[in-house]
Amino acid sequence: MSEKLKKLRALRQVDIFKLEAIYDIANSVPGDENNLPNLIVAYKNVLSIQESFERGHADIIATLAVRDDSDLDAEEIIRKNFMSMLNEIEVCYYKFVQVPKEQASGSSTYTKKSNAKMPKLNIKCFSGDIKEFPTFIDMYDSSIHNNPDNSDMDKFNYLISFLSGPPLELIRRVRFIEQNYLTAYTLLRERYTNKRDLAQEYWKGIYDSPQLTSENAHMLRTLLDSFAQNLAGLEKMGYDTGHWDFMLMNLLLEKLDSNTVKAFELHYASNEIPTYQELYSFLSKQCTGLEAFTKSKKIKVGSTSSPNFVRYPRKTAFMPVSGGRQQTLLAKTSTNNCLFCKSNHIIFKCPSFLTKTPQERFKFAKRVRCCINCFATSHSTCHCSSDKRCRHCNKSHHTILHFDNVTSGDNDDEAEASTSNTNLSRPTENTNINENNSLSTLSGVIPNFNYVLLSTALVNILDKFGNLHTMRAVIDSGSQVSFITKACANKLALPKFNAALSIQGL
């Protein structure tokens, strides 16, 4: 019970802190009316803070009511202090925002009051994108600025509520009083009606459109919309884009992928120069066709009875060959547990093992019956397939097992592994096996012939953009890993990353 009560009181205190911040802003307004925009923005959160406080306070009272030692008077004092701050904020907001100032003549009559509750208008907030300003200012003028029923204070409130980012910072420089509304409005229009900047933004939207790399309906539609929207903006500014036909046609043609360009050239098939409208119309139809094709393919991929997928009879991984001796090999994944200390690293990088002398390392390798060339336990030294040799004597043993000055009591194997008295701290070669990934794969049925037949299948694969491609897959049921050619991965636009993995197999 006490833990729950602590949490409820902590949440309630957060609401009190939020209201205190707004209370401080409201108290600063009488001395500096430049803080009025901050009060207007902060006042939007007052109602949600009040509701959250009341819910939390009610939960605290309900929790304390079942306890005999509860002090409800202290909780009531907290509530009264909260409501007192809330009332003062309401009075300040009503006085400086909702009720206009007295007329400049000093008479006791007021100018036309602003609406007590301003209607909510569906105008997108303007954040500084110069290409969006013409649409924003047209909607604002028709709904608010040119409406005679709105006072200048109402218009000022609306203007601030529809701005964010740099435009809002620009307006905040103007003192928030009714007489300054036209000043703020004019300042905003002059800042974001720079025709040169606007025209450059429209042209950059056309020139910097993304280059298409493949036939993709979504990317093609985005390209066409970018050309159409930015050209419409330039035409609205008074530019005659009809004289730009040759330039626009070639610019759009350069943005297309090779397959789309080929399709257009085959469709047009003329020595005459195509117009921009002819190219745009063809691409619109091409886009519609690609969208329909993509949708139909997605439906067929989800269906089990799709005729696009050819079902081949199930075959074994290796075709049996009559008259030949067959041997079954199993796949095995090797681990990196150290033979010496049993930790998760390779033995020739084991700190404990490297502190031993080369003679002691050699005796240990013979005792655990591992290959003295690669330290593998799956084969002997004479059957080791590694082409690495000792860096000092070029014989079939690991470099860290190299030593010389062999006594007469040493055996033949020990003599083979000796030529120098160097105690190496870390190896630099003899293996390329990664510390974390080492995979050996042996699979299949090997006959007495020099070839093995693997089953294959034609499969349809979706690329990154949802398009289908027919690929030939080699099926090896004994393989523990899957591989894909680089050409196939590039064609499917698959993401690639570098990884260190050693693959060994027979």
Model pLDDT for residues 228-251, shown as the tens digit of each residue: 888 888 887 788 888 888 888 888
Q: What is the pLDDT of residue 99?
A: 53
Q: What is the pLDDT of residue 13?
A: 92
Q: For residues 197-227, b (16+ Cβ closer than 10 Å) or e, as one string?
A: ebeeebeebbeebeebebbbbebbbebbebb
**363 φ/ψ angles, rounded to the nearest 5 degrees:** -60, -40
Could you give the CA distance from residue 201 to residue 208 in angstroms, rounded to a whole number?
10
Which pLDDT tens digit goes with each residue over 461-472?
888 777 888 888
SS3 content of the chain, % helix, strand, coil (to 5): 50, 10, 45
Q: How many CA atoms lie within 13 A of 215 on its CB side?
A: 19
Banded pLDDT at 435 (limits 50, 70, 90): very low
* CA nearest to 227, candidates 213, 209, 246: 209
CA dihedral sign of residues 367, 421, 373, 412: negative
Q: What is the pLDDT of residue 118?
A: 52
Q: What is the pLDDT of residue 441?
A: 45
List the structure tokens of 63: 């929790």
List the structure tokens of 506: 């027979």
If you average pLDDT over residues 425-443, what whole number do you get? Answer: 42
If you average pLDDT over residues 319-325, what whole number do you get? Answer: 44
Banded pLDDT at 478 (limits 50, 70, 90): confident
Q: What is the pLDDT of residue 15?
A: 92
**pLDDT top residue among 304 and 494:** 494
Q: Which residues pair with 505 in a beta bridge?
A: 441
Is the per-residue pLDDT at 220 higher than 50? yes
Helix (H) or strand (E) holding 231: helix 217-236
Banded pLDDT at 17 (limits 50, 70, 90): very high
Could you give the CA distance from residue 390 to residue 33 in angstroms, rounded to a whole number?
85
Could you give the CA distance from residue 155 to residue 140 in angstroms, rounded to a whole number?
10
Total H helices, total E strands in the chain: 17, 6
Is the per-residue pLDDT at 14 higher than 90? yes
Which pLDDT tens digit goes with each residue over 102-142?
333 343 333 344 444 455 567 788 888 888 888 888 888 88
**77 φ/ψ angles, rounded to the nearest 5 degrees:** -65, -40
**pLDDT top residue among 74 and 304:** 74
Is the per-residue pLDDT at 361 higher than 70? yes
Is the per-residue pLDDT at 494 higher than 90? no
- 3 state SS of 95: helix
- 3 state SS of 102: strand
* CA nearest to 462, candidates 431, 440, 494, 428: 494
* CA nearest to 390, candidates 352, 351, 348: 348
Mean pLDDT, the chain, whole residue set: 75
**pLDDT top residue among 332 and 502:** 502
CATH 1.20.58 residue spans of the chain: 2-98
Query: What string of DSSP letters covers 364-430?
Result: HHHHTT--TTT--SSS-GGG-------TTT-SSS-GGG-B----TT--HHHHHTBS-----SS--SS
Residues 6 or more apart whose CB falls under 8 angstroms from that of 338 comprise 344, 345, 346, 347, 350, 353
List the structure tokens of 234: 């330039």
Q: What is the pLDDT of residue 49?
A: 92
List the structure tokens of 283: 């691409």
Is the per-residue pLDDT at 359 higher than 60? yes
List the structure tokens of 276: 């921009």
Q: Is the pTM of this model over 0.85?
A: no
* CA nearest to 411, candidates 462, 359, 448: 359
Strands 455-462 and 468-475: antiparallel
Banded pLDDT at 18 (limits 50, 70, 90): very high
Q: What is the pLDDT of residue 247?
A: 87
Could you give the CA distance from residue 202 to residue 234 in angstroms, rounded to a whole number?
7
Q: How many CB atoms lie within 10 A of CB 345?
A: 16
If you average pLDDT over residues 474-487, what whole number do you get? Answer: 82
If you average pLDDT over residues 11-29, what whole number do you get? Answer: 90
Which pLDDT tens digit goes with each residue over 83-96?
888 888 888 887 77
CA distances from 14 to 26, 224, 278, 484 (A): 19, 50, 63, 56
If you average pLDDT over residues 447-461, what whole number do you get? Answer: 72
- 3 state SS of 311: coil
Cβ atoms of 97 and 36 closer than 8 Å: yes
CA angle, residues 326, 330, 332, in degrees to nearest 5: 155
CA dihedral sign of residues 380, 382, 388, 394: positive
CATH class of residue range 2-98: mainly alpha
Q: What is the pLDDT of residue 432?
A: 41
Which pLDDT tens digit goes with each residue over 324-354?
444 444 444 445 678 888 888 888 788 888 8
Banded pLDDT at 300 (limits 50, 70, 90): low
**502 φ/ψ angles, rounded to the nearest 5 degrees:** -95, 125
